[in-house]
Amino acid sequence: MDVRYSRQILFSPIGREGQDRLKEKHVLLIGAGALGTSNAEIMVRAGVGKVTIADRDYVEWSNLQRQQLYTEEDAAHEIPKAVAAKKRLESINGEVAINAEILDVTPVEMARLIDGVDLIIDATDNFDIRMIINDTAQKYGVPWIYGAIVGSYGLSYTVIPEETPCLHCLMKRIPMDGATCDTAGVISPIVQLIVAHQSAEALKILTGNHGALRKQLISYDIWSNQQSAIDVGALKEDSCPSCGQAPTYPFLDYESQTKTAVLCGRDTVQIRPASREKRDLQKVASKLSQTAEVRHNEFLLSFKKDPYRFVMFQDGRVLVHGTNDAQHAKTLYHRYLG
């Protein structure tokens, strides 16, 4: 329907040819939170042929402040985010095929989801999944767009396999201090700013305008009025195990994944992160103290988020008391400990 997309077609870098290309493309969105819902709506309104949304969570009241596809009814009935997003998106553009996947993204799931995908948009909230996305994208040669937000701060970067450094190459340049939206909060304007960068890059890729792609890692703090754009091209490493000359895709390996174990008879799940380096418990306690009462000593820290109690040890191992559901415990772990 030309009239639906007429203003987009009039934009000469897209035009009729670009619009026809969009109709043939398949975008995979990992995460249906703030970044995911906003990116999904833009892709659907733009006329992308198929959009797959993968998310493991359900709609909560705290989501409504920034996750634009959801309603009070969705929160009241605890509707899975992927399902609620699909329903809303289908009402926006019935020409687009929307696929909802209610699942935790693992290497096994990504190997299935990646089939036939032209672009991945990162809208998740934990680094484990981002590294799985990164290695999957490199293995199958699919471009992806990284995005992250917390507080008033956001980051974005576009990864093109065999051309740009991958996320593994840049790990030392990307802040990973453990802050999450549930511990440091988030304001909606930074969501929209990072989505604008992600979705613009997506449209460039999907319409074949690769020459217009941004080759930089960008960051913004919309509250303190700071921004940066770092040219990271020189950081591509031939020895990178994810995108180098002899890739092993380490984050698709079981040993590089977060492990969970239900402790028999204790209503407790133990979570062991992939990396076992010594944690700075004082630093973690300081971040958590803004939203919870934290107790700690040189060996461990503990805090409560009713009805759950968390205990974190120096090696990063965490006990989540109050549940024997490993998947739910993992969600709580990423929510509060990043």
Instruction: Return the ∠ at Cα 270 (arms to 124 and 329), rounded to 5°.
Output: 40
Query: With contact defined as beta carbons under 8 Å apart, do 9 and 103 qualify?
Result: no
Active site (catalytic) residues: 181
The CATH number of 6-252 is 3.40.50.720
pLDDT tens for 271-308 read: 888 766 788 888 888 888 888 888 888 777 889 988 99
Token digits for 173? Answer: 């340049």
Burial class (CB in 10 A: 0-12, 13-18, 19+), 169: buried
Distance CA 30, CA 296 (A): 35
Q: Is 70 exceeded by the pLDDT of residue 1?
A: no
User: Quick one: pLDDT at residue 264?
Assistant: 65
pLDDT tens for 185-219 read: 899 999 999 999 999 999 999 999 999 999 899 99
User: Quick one: pLDDT at residue 95?
Assistant: 96
User: Quick one: pLDDT at residue 162?
Assistant: 94
DSSP class of residue 265 equals T
Distance CA 105, CA 293 (A): 31
Query: With contact defined as beta carbons under 8 Å apart, do 310 and 322 qualify?
Result: no
pLDDT tens for 228-248 read: 999 999 999 999 999 999 999
Task: Walk across the sheet containing 294-296 and list its strands.
Answer: 259-263, 268-272, 318-321, 308-313, 300-305, 294-296
pTM over 0.85: no
Distance CA 306, CA 256 (A): 30
Domain spans of the chain, in order of start: 6-252, 258-337
At CB < 8 A and 24+ separation, what contacts does 80-84 make? 80/55, 81/32, 81/33, 81/36, 81/53, 81/55, 81/57, 82/32, 82/53, 82/54, 82/55, 84/59
Query: With contact defined as beta carbons under 8 Å apart, do 309 and 300 qualify?
Result: no
Query: With contact defined as beta carbons under 8 Å apart, do 242 and 251 qualify?
Result: yes
Distance CA 305, CA 336 (A): 9
Query: With contact defined as beta carbons under 8 Å apart, do 100 and 53 qualify?
Result: yes
Mean pLDDT of 175-180: 65
Distance CA 317, CA 279 (A): 10
> Which residue stretches of the chain are H helix?
6-10, 15-23, 34-46, 72-76, 81-92, 107-113, 127-140, 181-184, 188-206, 281-288, 326-337
DSSP class of residue 215 equals -
Identify the CATH homologous superfamily for domain 258-337: TATA-Binding Protein (3.30.310.10)
Centroid of chain to Cα 102 = 15
330 HSE (CA, 13 A, CB side): 23
User: Quick one: pLDDT at residue 326?
Assistant: 85
